[in-house]
Structures are given as structure tokens and as C-alpha cells.
Structure 1
């Protein structure tokens, strides 16, 4: 009697599952007051005035201590939001006190702080968007937005727009928003033709069920210049599209075209994929032997690519054996798949509950294969394993199917108590799944809305330019209407403005021309003065050689000429330069003073001092600027001195922008030197000094007080001469 009652109970349970679900739902979803608090994740400090609400229900805020209390039910979605942190979504699981830890919204560096390297910043943001593509769609799109905003100027370049909208399309395609992906790929292609993006666009057309558009795009691509890998991609894509519209013959033909190219050029991953896909098409059309042959190829090839690829292929071939009711081979492959899934490193297979490569799903499919063989008792352990794994991974879909199947098996083998308990578990899972699906629908709607809003923001960045152009056109049209009402007045005003602009332009052009001419004249004058400088210097030096020869001192003359030739080589090397480093000028000066000292050994001693603080590489000076001053000191000051004279040349740095050069001699002085001149010498002006003064005047005019010169007596009796040159860096 008890057994008969149990049978009736099981029958009733299976006949009206929704009644039980509704009853459980009413029991489980009774309301209660959920208490909790909101704290910062790093400091654990309470956060006050936070918005706390139940989706579609009650609302409250946290107090000063960060505490809240709100009317809720099991399965409700709790939303905690504030402008100070990222919104937190939480599913109510029980009545326990809840602590919500929040983090400040991630700050992305402002583009203005890195304008100098805008290209690098743009690339950095795009790379970040790609990193977050499969982790967080909102963050990924936010990085694309920041990438476009980081570009200086009014709008991004065509290349940058192409990359940004391609990345957006990739995000949309990954999250199965095919219509948005198509729109973004098309936007990307507006910035220039790109084969890879066109291949992605054709794939997006297929996934959005725009099959004809997909075929058209793939066919057009075949007429383009493609790499071998791209050809394989296009033929594979065509095969996928024909497969989607159940055109098996064309699907296989395109797959085989791609396979031939992949095999010829050793594109190994594609060889495996295409063998597998050809096997799938043959399997769908009922050509079992052909399907098994290609699946055998793909299985062997996948083992060479790595465990993950091998596991994926084994699962696919196992599905093929299931369709053909070859359960023994299916079970063998799934057992191998289970072992390999366990041996894979963490993170090798993505944590996607919908992926067939999970222990709970493989165990469930093995159980189904045993059921297909009517081996119910062998199936039960696999269903129990599936339930345990599904419970760990919170995979309610598999848990639901497995618990129901387990209940049915217990019923079929006559263990009605276990069947009843399993069905109760099944009913509870259905209720939980119902609540979860309701929440997922809400989250999906919100996710889609947020993604659309964020993408709209990006699209608006590109549309701003078009909008500005439209506004400009509208303003022009408005202006034309106004001009029609007052044509004469506008014409007069416009003519006056035009005349004024022409006059200003003419004045500016003339000013610029005069300035350029003056600059050219100055350059010519400097060159001329430098040209005069060299013969003057050579003439004086040759006089020295002549004096040695006149005194029959051939050895001294030869030595002097040797030193002189070295000096002349350096002088001539620098003769075409406007400026030379100060260090070179010092080297020239040392050579020159050495020559003069060689001639007038008994007349003077000299000392050249360069301050250690003076950075010689930072200052430049016109070549042969200092030599005439030194020459004057020797020839007109020290040469006529009865006792041994002294020549001091000092280089020092006044500040970061200024250097000071001092040439000091204790000679007879400028006044007495003038008395020693002959009448003929008095009539002639000094070529060297006159030349130098002109050069300094022109240089100061061209380079804004580049050199400042001061000549003064050293002693009160007007003996000795000091020349001070102030040299500016710029």
C-alpha cells in the first residue's frame, strides 16, 4: 500500500512541478528586515549617506555609522550606490548581517597630463581596453573613451578613430551585441580600408543573421589582396555562413579551400579547426564515415596543439558519437576529457558556466550516455558528481537538469524515497534558478543600457565635428539672410575690412621683407669682416716670420712657421662659421699667444686661466673675436715696455647664462702707445680693432646683446689695459 502511495506521489510531483515551485517560492521569499553596514575596503571606515535600495522595491540610506536596515526577500537584488565609489550589486541569500566593502572608482590619468606623448597615451589606453575586454565591458569602453579624449586638438586622426571603433566592435562582439559590433566596424572602416576589420565585419554579419551581407562581404574580400592566413579566415568564414543556412555542400567546399591553403603553408591551428568543422558538416548531413574520418584528423592534430585544444576537440567528437548513439566511444572520450580538465592549470579554461568543458557538464553527459544504454545504476554516480560540482560552481542549470534526471532514474529503478527527495531538491533549484534568471534579466537589461550609453558618449566625440560643421552651415545661411536685408551696408563694411586686411598684410609683408633683407645684409657683413680678418691676421704673423729671417734665425723661423701653420689650419677651419664653441676659441688663443711669446720672449710672460665652474660646451663665440685684443696688448702695450711685462687672460662664469672674459696687460697703456706711432700709422685706423667693433655691433643687433665689451686702464697713471668681454649664452 505504501509503495502504491509513493508511486502516486511521484507521479503527481512530476505532473505538476510548477505548483510545487510556486509553493516553495511563497515559503522561501517571505520578507524580512535585512541589516548591514557599508565600509571602505582599505580602512574599514563606515561610509554614511549611501543609497541602499532593493531593485524595484524598498529604499534607505546609511547613517553616520554606515549602518542600514531594509525590507528584503531571499533572491532580491540589493543595490548600493554613491558618487564616491563604483555601484555594488548583491543578491540577498539569507538573513545574516551584511557587511558591504566598497572601493573608490578607479581613477584614470587625465589626458592633459600626458599631452606631450599623446600617441603613446592613446596606445596605452587602447591596450588597457583590450586587457579588460573579457573582464569588464564597462571599464574596457571607458578606456576607449579616454583614449579618444587623450588626443590633443579637435578630433582624433583617422588611424586612431579606426583603432578605437575596431576595439569597440570587438567588445560588442564578445558580449554578443552583434548589431552594435556591425555599426562600430563600419565606423572604423570609414577611416580607411582594413582587411582584418572587414573580416571581423563579415563575421559580425553572420552572427547577427545577416547571412547575405556576410556572404557578399566575404566574396568581396576574396577579390582583395590577402595574406595566406587571411585567405584561410575568409574561406572559413564563408563555410561558417553557408553552414548556418544549412548549405552543406558549399560549406564543405569553402572549408576544404581554406584547408588546402592552411596545409600548404603549415597554418597548424587552422588545419585542426577546419578538419573539425568539415566533420561537423558531414555529421549534420548524415555522412557518418566522412565525419568520423575528419574528426579523427582533428583529434590527432589537436593533441599537438596543447591540452586545452585537445579537450575542446574531444568534447566535440564526443557530441558526434552521442548523436550517432555510439555511447561507448562517447563515454571513453568524456572520461579522458574529465581527466584532462582536472590536469589543466587554473585559468587555462575560462570560468564560463555555459562552457561544456566543466566537470559538472561532462559528468552529466556521461550519465546521459549510460542512460542511453539503459545502464541506470552506472549513470547515478555521475549524476551525483555532476550535482556536487554544479553546487560548487553555482551552475544552477546543470544542477537542475542533473537533480531531475537523478529523480527520474530513482523512479525508474523503483527507489521512490530517493526519487522523492531528489525531486524536492530539483524543485528548490528551480525556484532558485527562477530568482537568479529574473535577476540576470534585470542585470542584462541594465548592462545593455549602460553599454549603449557609454558607446553613445564615444560616438558623440566623433559626431561633434560633424555637428559643428552643421552649425557652421546654419550660421552661414542665417548670415546670408541678414545680408540680403542690408546688402549695401554689409558690402561697405566688408570692403573696408578687406582693404584694412590688405593694408595690414602689405605692411606685414614689407616689414618681414625688410627684416629678412637686413638679416641677410648682416650675414653678408659678418662674412666680409671674417674674410678681412684672416688676411690681416696672416699679414701680422708673416711680419713676425720676416723678422726672424731678417735676424738670420732660420731655426726660430722654421719653428715659428710650424706653430703658425697649425694655428692657420684651425683658423681656416672655423672661418666659415658664425659661432664656434668657446673651448675651440680658447685653443686658438693659446696657440696665438704661444707664437707671440715665442717672438717676444724677453718682453712678457702670460697666463691663461679657465674657471672650473665654466661649462665650455654651453657657450659659443664668433671665431677670432679675442685675438685682436690680445694682439693689441702685445704689440701696442707690452712690446714697448722696458721691463718684462705680464699678460693675463681669464675665463669665468658669472651666472648660468653669462660668461666673462678678461684680457689684462701691464703694458705702457693706450695713451703712450699712441705717442709711439709714426705719422703714417696715426693716419691709418687699426684694421683688427675696427673689424672687431663692427662684428660686435652686427652680432648684438642680430642676437640681442650677445657680446658686451669694456676697455679700460688698469692703473691711475693710464698704464696697463684691461678688456672685459661679457658673453651671453643665447
Structure 2
């Protein structure tokens, strides 16, 4: 039935005139495609076309609805950062227009939801309050309840405003009860119960969850009962005092999900049952539950469920001492984690492209509007001239001269506008393309290091080495906070890079049980504070030195040395280790480069294309006088083009070994 409906609507889109009804149909079809399991990019393309057609029609209200629809699709793909400006613009465009208040409330509430999921809680609260103000003015109980519920959930995440959050949630529940809105009551019981679970008041949380269970039973809502039983089980599981009761509620929830043939619900509950068995030390039964969840994920082709189940299975095998199987499922988990990250990257790049298309289209509309105004002015002048021709022949000749001059000026103006338009669109395209490429390169480097650190912390906790785990966690937090602080800056100073590298090396030294020592020597005399290096450019070289150079080495004293020097026209950074050196098949002469080196090449190339300064690097083995490999050296040169325009030439490499 749904397929026939889509075919019928597609025929309308293929042959119908492009008017407001056509745009409304595009939006409806985009949502229908999204509800299908395999819709490809059709839903996003239709929603994007609807926005552009609404702009062409000059209908502000229709444009706002199309933006809101596109924002919803971004939200459904869990790409909330791109959804926020869509919903936000839809509301801002219509806030002062005479349109149905319900639409304004929808736009504002949708902005609040997207911002809340993205962690922009200040924006979320601002737009929920706008929706609430309109709902109170219109005496719309349903939307008052929705806005109060959203405000409560958003305020929960802002330190110091928890009581205010609870007040809004209780207000939402009160409104739902007064209007006999059982669905609204259920939503607010669940929100309040979740709030008390978050702050550790489990008995109070379950009081609200049992009220929710009674309400769902009264409505004979099987799915609602299943969700509630699962929530009660999770409350007991989080409290970690009465695990048999938690398991009982999970098993009751599982039976209901099986009756409903809700496979995703079954998978999440099976995973929770596995958690109960794991905490009780029943590892074989935990494995059986996790494997059931894993199989459901495979049946549904749900990458997220497959990844989380594989990770849990790997953990249990590791606890059983079966390292071979633990490694196999750990690799499966990583493959799906990388796949999920790549999917998010593709959506991010697609979102940037859509944003570029919209801005280009609006710029084009603006230029067309100016041309229309010029044409109208020209027509008005012609009418005045025709009226004057009846009386004064001399004015005709004067106007002819004036007309020629105006045409010349108009031609020059058109050429200038075209050049400005081309330059603006090209600059916008280059900027967005550069941002997309930076996203792509950073997303290839960071996840593996982050996962290794978290895995090390978990390993220390499992070994009951809690002090080491806490120290490691503090260092990891400092490092990630530092990375976040510099993430908005494409480049920073060598001094900042060395500080960041020192924090990273402390983490790696802890992870390898002090298996190596390192020294960072800063001998720079100038350029130290100049922003000349992309953040974490040195990290892949240092990681390779540790993992592929020092880790497999049999030396008793494994050393890593990083030196920064500067001259009048350049900065030179050197990374040396006394490890096993580069294998023959990995030498620069063989033409092979690791993935880390390829990514570094791309980052360096992007820097050299975008900035005045210039970066070059090279890597080679360290050899002793008898030509035996004694380690590896990486040299990075940053050529300061402020003082000289010729290409930097590396100083001669030393032939001796730096480590004695």
C-alpha cells in the first residue's frame, strides 16, 4: 500500500507544475521515503529541492515549512548540529508573520529538541521558552505540556538548575492530567523517573515508573508496558543491589517485545540481561544473551547494535581468558565503529554541501531581485521620456545621449556584480570544501587513540588498580580538554604543540607501563609563539615511534627524543627513537607509506595550499658507523615565508646515532 502511494506521488512530482502544492507534496514524499528501510539519498534530495523551490516561489511561510522539514530529516539521521539552524531559521522567519500560531510553536519546539540532543542547552531553553510563551497566549494545553517537558529535560543538563527542571516536568504532568492526555502523562512519568534515576534516588524513580506501568496497563498499551518494564529493570540494574529483580523485569519486557515482534526492543533487553549475568559472574549465560542481541542486530542490519554487542562479547571472552575470540570480536566491534563514524562523516559532508547550495541559491535570488528593481526603474524612465517627447524634441536628443551613458554604466555594473558573485561563490565553495576535508582527515586519526586510552583505563579498573586508573583518567581528561580548546583553531604555535605532545606522551607512557622514557627539548630562539603548525601534526610520528619502533625493541632503555630549533627563516622539529627502525618494505625508498603518513601528507598539503608558511617532512633510519640500524629519525621543517621566497633546503642529516 505504501509503495503504491509513493508511486502515485512520484508521478505527481514528475508531471505536475511547480507551485506550493508541489512543494508540500515533495515534503510529504521525503518523509515517506525516510520511513522506508532502504531509501538511499532520495529523502534528503527531495527535502533539499523543496527548500529551493519554496525560495523560487517567494513564499516565506512555505520556505519556513520546507526548512523545518529538512531539519527533521537531519534529526532523524541524528545529525543535530545541521538540524538546529534549519528549525531556528524557520521560526525566526515567521515569528512576526501572521501565520497559524501552531506552526510557530512547532518550529520553536523542534529547535529546542535538536539543540537539546546536540548539547546546546542554552539554545534549547531559549526556544522552548518561546514555544511556551505562544502556547500560554493561545491557551494551547497540549503545546504548553510539550514545551514544559522539553524545558525540564534541557534544564536537567545545566548544573544548578535541576530543581527548575523538575518544576517544569511536574507542570507538564499536571497539564497532561488536567486535559486527560494519557500519552502526555506517560511521557512525563518516564521523564521524571529518568530524572530521579540520574541523581541516584532509585526508589523515587521507581515510584513514578510504577505509576507509568499502571497507566499503560489501563490503556492496554503493550508496547508502553514493555518500555516501562525495561525502564524499571534498568533502574534496579543501575542501583546494583537487587539484580534478580532487575532480571525479572527484563524477562517480562522481553516476552512483550517478542509478542509485538519488536526486534530492536528485544535486542536492547537481551543486552541488559547479559549485563545482569556478567555482574553476577555468570559469564557463559552473559555470552548467550549478548550473542542473541548480536544476531538480532545482524538480522536488522543495525550497525550500532552489532558494534555494541560485539564489544560486550569481546569483554566477556577477555574475562574468560579466551584472548583469541576476544580479539576476533574486538576487531568486529572496531570495524562497525569505523563504519558508523564514516557514515556520520558522509552526512556531515552532505550537510555542508546542502548548506553551500542554499546560500548560493539565496545569493542568486538576491542578485535577481536587484536586476528586477533595475528593470522596473528603467521602464519608469522610459514612460517619462515618451510623455516628454510630445512637447520637446530637444529633450529626445538629450535623452538619447543619456540613455547610451546609462547602458554603458549598466553594462559595467552587471560585469562588476557578476565578478563579485563569482568571487563570493568560489570563496564560499573553497571554504566549505576545506572544512569538509579537515573533518575527513581528523576523523581518520582520532578514534583509535581515544579507544586505546579508554581500553587502558577499563583494563586498570578491572585489575583493581584504581589509583592508576584515576591518574590515567585525569591525564586523559586534561588531554581531551586541551584538544577541544584548540579544535576551533586550524593552526597553533610550536609551543602549544609541544605542550599537547607532552600530555599525549604521559598517556602513552602510562599505557605501556613506563616501558620507555622521553625528552622534549625546546631550543627555539624565535617563532616560538607564531601559529605555524596544524594541531597534533607530530602525534602520528610519535605514535609510530612508540608502537612500531620502541615497543618491539629488545633494548633495556628505550628512548624517545623530540627537539625543536629555529633559525632566521625556518623552524626544524626532530623526532628520534632508538627502536628497531624502519623495516625494508617500509623505507621511503620503497614508495610505501603507512595510513598515518598518508593522512599527514594530506594535512600538510592542505596547510601549504591555505597558508603563507610552508611545511616539509622526511623520515629515515639512524645507523651507526657499521651501517647497523639503531633507530629512526623524523624531520619536519616549517619554512617561514615572511622573510624569504626561496624553497627551504634541509640541513645535512647526521650519520651517527643519537642514543648511546
TM-score (norm 1): 0.45
Between the two structures, name the one with larger relative contact order (CA 8 Å, sep ≥ 6).
Answer: 1
Q: Which has the larger radius of gyration?
A: 1
TM-score (norm 2): 0.49
Write 1 or 2 for the structure with the bigger share of helix. 2
Write 1 or 2 for the structure with the bigger share of strand. 1
